[in-house]
Amino acid sequence: MIAGELAVPALLAIPATAPAGFAGAAVLLGAFTGSIVTTLRRGTRASCRCFGASSRPLGPAHAARGACLLAVAAVGGAGSSAGERGALDPAGVAVALAAAAAGVVLTVALDDLVSLLTARPAAR
């Protein structure tokens, strides 16, 4: 797993190997998501350590996050292997980077967001 996690960014950094990088990312994300789903089905209580230390146990939100990331890898793979590539439009790159940054923040902060949105007020 660690070798795969190290190989994916390296493959994605080179345009010629980007499709292989997206495929590798999809395989890893499929394995992680499958592990989460299996853990949930067994009823095992385990904390998610995917994006740092968290005391929140694995739940449906973690499986949904994995499925969304898997979909992103699939779309990226389809886009990277599609036809002719031309010059990059700077405005398009800026928009893509802004969207990616927002997606990264939401992905990494998922546990905190779920806790915030599902918190129950203290009894008086």
Question: 115 vs 55, 60, 103, 120, CA distance in Å?
Answer: 11, 13, 18, 9
Report yes or no on 110 lying in a domain. no
pLDDT tens digit sequence for 46-74: 887 777 666 778 888 889 989 999 999 99
d(CA 45, CA 53): 15
Instruction: Provide the number of structural domains found in the chain.
Output: 1
> CB of 4 within 8 A of CB of 27?
yes
Report yes or no on 65 lying in a domain. yes
Domain extent for 23: 2-87
Report yes or no on 28 lying in a domain. yes
- For residue 13 the two structure tokens come to 């950094």
Report yes or no on 121 lying in a domain. no
pLDDT tens digit sequence for 12-57: 988 889 899 999 999 999 999 999 999 999 998 888 777 766 677 8
Residue whose entry in the numeric block shows the structure tokens 């949904």: 64
